[in-house]
Amino acid sequence: MDGFSLEAPCGIHCGLCPLHKAGADEQLRANLIERQKLPPEKVPCPGCRAVDGHCPVIREQCATWACAKERGVEFCSDCPDFPCVRLMPCADRAGVLPHNLKIFSLALRKSKGREAWAKAIEEAYGLYFEGRMAIGRGPGRKS
């Protein structure tokens, strides 16, 4: 599977998602099926593009994915209405979902290109989930 198939239109990197990683980790797969009450055939998830935006977690087609498809854009950042409310950060479950990184991810990919994005986004996820915010500096590693 090529890397592009793991790059969601909204900027989320499906390859870093636990639902995708469950393909190489049977313990993670079992935990996700039990905890999320997902059908076993939905885990692991091959990524949004491979399932036409039918995310196993939301159990329907992702409205953001459908919007990108309808507008004929590969990434939301290619849309004339970018950014829109679908990509807006939200504090609800921010500590466990990567959705607040969408705008950063899309801007990084658009300005630096796919290869630089692919190298930098995993570190960005680490800083988001494991870092500590310093006002004026952004996230840094916890000391």
CA 72 to chain centre: 20
| More confident: 10 or 96 | 10
Residue 1's pLDDT band, with cuts at 50, 70 and 90, is very low
Burial of 31 per CB tally in 10 Å (0-12, 13-18, 19+): middle
pLDDT tens digit sequence for 34-82: 988 888 988 999 999 999 999 888 878 999 999 999 999 999 999 999 9
Tell me the whole-structure pTM to 2 decimals.
Answer: 0.84
Structure tokens at 95: 């500590």
